[in-house]
Amino acid sequence: MRSSWYNIVWLVGILLGTALSLQAQPLAGGDVFTIGRIKYSGGGDWYCDPSSLPNMLKYLHEQTGIPTAEREAPVEPRDPGIFSFPYLYMTGHGRITFSDEDAANLRRHLTSGGFLHVDDCYGLDEHFRREIKKVFPDAELQEIPYSHPIYHSFFEFPNGPPKIHEHDGKPAQGFGIFYQGQLVVYYSYQTDLGDGWEDPEVHHDPEEKRIAALKMGVNVIMYALRRYESATTVQK
């Protein structure tokens, strides 16, 4: 009962917010929503899982009706254009390096309505944990309780993030950084959502795994859009 109420509140809020924001400020990519893929330095494969984000965008459109672009847009953290992306996505397997300029720009965006989703595609953990400190030196990554709205924003995930791929046999976890009580960075660890978003023939995952990953993606994006809408509306 409680979760249904939550869903209604969120859905209405998001739809309303989206409609308002489309009037107030166009989303990156013109009139359609797209994902900003963080193109970081350091050598890690920021571009990995190439079919994941187009699929995610398509699924988002199918499930929510939000108009979406076909592809994501790569964006460097230092790029001022980053502010056009309410939802930033970052993934990879290896090294990440944020310059001071990168960190400052990201922080500016994340503290003014932006949202960063970091998806560990295995091998990213240590680098990300180190580099995010440059962005939020005082904040700690905290594991997000399953009652948090991010797990209920559109679809229900009562047991937290779904486990899509396994590498080390660990359970899936969702961590976050909160700024002024708001979740601004969501870090999906040991879940490998991105792999689940890819074309079925890439990893040959069962359909239910892929759908679970995509649903979780919808939740994160919806949460981010909500936050973006809320922040930009408040600023207005």
Partner 1 sequence: MSWDEQIRARLAELRSKVFHLQVSGGLWNSLSVICALVLTASLAELAFHFQPAVRLALMMALLLLLLATAGFWIVYPILRHWIRPKTDQELALAWGYSLSRINDRLLNALQVFENRTQDRTSPELSELALRQVAEELSHETFTGVLDVGSVKRARGQALFVVGIWALSLLISQGSALSAFSRILQPGRDFKPLADFTLALAETPGLIIRGEPFDIIISGQGRLPESVGLHIEEIGADPVDHTVKFDPNGKASFRLENPQNDLRLYAHSADVVSNQASIRVKSRPYLKNLEARWFPPAYSKLPTGVSAEKRGDVSALKGSRVRITVQADRRLKEAVLRITLDENPQNPTDQPMELDGDEATAELLLLKSGHYNLLIKDNDNISNAAPVDYSLWPIQDEWPTINILYPPPEAELNESLLIPIKAGARDDFAISRIRLGYQLVKGGGASGDSSSGGHFSWKVMAFSDLGEGTALVDQLWDLNELNLLPGDLILYKLEAQDNDQVSGPKTAETPVQRLRFPTMEEIFARVEEHYGNQEDDITEALDRAVNMKKELEELRTELKKNPDLTWEEKKKVEELLKKQEETTKQVEDLAKRTDELIQKMQENQLLSPETMEKYQQLQKMLSEVMTPELAKAMKKLQEALKQQNPEDLRQSLEQFALNQEEFQQKMEKALNILKQLKQEMKLDELTKRAEQLLEKQQEINSKLDQQKKPGPNPEGAQAEKDLQKEMADFEKEFQDAKEMMADSPQNPEQEMKAAEQIMQENQFQPNMGQMSQDMQQGDSQQAQQKGSKLESGLKELSQTMKKAKESMVNTGKQQLTEELRKISHDLLSLSFEQEALMDTSSGLDQASPRFRTLAQEQQTLKNHLEETAKNLYELSQKSYFITPQIGSAFDQAMRGMDQALMGYTARSPQSVTGQQQTAMGGMNRAIMEIGQSLDQISSSSSSTGFSEMMEQLAQMSKQQAGLNQGTQNLIPMPGGTNPGQLSMQQQAGMSRMAAEQEALRQELESWYKANQEASKLMGRLGELGEEMKAAAEDLKNQQVDQRTLQRQERILRRLLDAQKSVREQEYKKERLSRTAEGPYSKPSPDPINLGLTPDEMRENLLKALKEGYSRDYQQLIRDYFEALSREQ
44 near partner 1, judged by CB under 8 A: yes
Q: Is 171 in the site for partner 1 (CB under 8 A)?
A: yes
Query: Least Å distance between CB 62 and partner 1?
Result: 20
Residue 11 or 104: the one with the smaller Cβ distance to partner 1 is 11
Give me the residue label for tokens 């969702």: 174
Dihedral of alpha carbons 101, 102, 107, 113, sign: positive
Total binding residues for partner 1 by CB under 8 A? 60
One residue of 39, 61, 133, 134 binding partner 1 per CB under 8 A: 39
180 is a site residue for partner 1 (CB under 8 A): yes
Three-class SS state of 91: strand
With CB under 8 A as the contact rule, the residue among 53, 66, 172, 214 that binds partner 1 is: 172
Per CB under 8 A, does 93 bind partner 1? yes
For partner 1, which residue of 7, 41, 63, 232 counts as binding (CB under 8 A)?
Answer: 41
Question: By CB under 8 A, is residue 83 in contact with partner 1?
Answer: no
CB-wise, 30 or 170, nearer to partner 1? 170
Residues 6+ apart with CB under 8 A from 115: 86, 87, 88, 183, 184, 185, 186, 223, 224, 227, 228
- 167 makes contact with partner 1 (CB under 8 A): yes
- Site mask, partner 1, residues 115-134, x = CB under 8 A? ------xxx-xxx-------
Q: Is 125 exposed, middle or buried (0-12, 13-18, 19+ CB in 10 A)?
A: middle
Which of residues 107 and 163 has its CB atom nearest to partner 1 in the complex? 163
Closest distance to partner 1 from the beta carbon of 229 (Å): 11
One-letter amino acid at 126 equals: E
The owner of tokens 């779904």 is: 162
As given in the structure block, the two tokens for residue 35 are: 């994902």
Which residue do the tokens 């400020």 mark? 25
The Cα-based distances of 77 to 53, 80, 85, 155 in angstroms read 18, 8, 11, 30
- Angle of CA points 225, 230, 234, to nearest 5°: 150
Q: Contact residues for partner 1 (CB under 8 A)?
A: 6, 9, 12-13, 16, 39, 41-47, 50, 71, 74, 93-95, 121-123, 125-127, 142-149, 159-160, 163-167, 169-173, 176, 178, 180-182, 192, 195, 203-206, 209, 233-234, 236
